[in-house]
Amino acid sequence: MSFIDLRGKDIVFPVHDVKYLLHYLIYNSFSEQVAHKLYLEGFPVNGRKFKLFTISDILEKGAVKNGYINFGTSITFNFSSPLDDLVTDFGSRAFKKSMIRINKFDLYLREFSIMNNLTDIGE
């Protein structure tokens, strides 16, 4: 999936906050009900809480300068879950939102694609 800034600005994050800001973007893309359940409860198993989704790092390399990473005009990352409902909620809610504000950026979902049968990749 790929997000862009609505004003066309380069997306620049503090180096040490990239993962936090990416998680913020994810949780703000879910519906409020799903985000609340995932964040506070997760899926409990044997006293541990599992979120049942994972995200990749931002795929753009980015240029580091003075403690900030400039990713250019978009950020792209992979979101994965064994639960179709989580993928559906995430994708549909992110498309419906006019923007998600992170720091001084108003991010908008530009592209979302679903890949099935990941075992087939590279064959």
Domain residue limits at 28: 2-120
Q: From the first residue on, what is the mean pLDDT of each consecutive set of 10 residues in the chain (123 residues)?
A: 92 94 90 88 86 90 95 92 87 82 89 67 50
What is the pTM assigned to this prediction? 0.80
The pLDDT score that the predictor gives to residue 117 is 58
CATH number at residue 42: 3.30.70.1890
Q: What would the two tokens of residue 100 be?
A: 């998600």
Contact 108, 6 (CB under 8 A): yes
The pLDDT score that the predictor gives to residue 118 is 57
Give strand ranges (E) for 6-120: 12-14, 43-45, 48-50, 54-55, 63-65, 68-70, 74-76, 79-80, 100-102, 105-111
Q: How many domains does the chain have?
A: 1
The pLDDT score that the predictor gives to residue 42 is 85
Separation between Cα atoms, residue 62 and residue 99, nearest integer Å: 22
The pLDDT score that the predictor gives to residue 61 is 92
The pLDDT score that the predictor gives to residue 119 is 55
The pLDDT score that the predictor gives to residue 14 is 95
Separation between Cα atoms, residue 40 and residue 38, nearest integer Å: 6
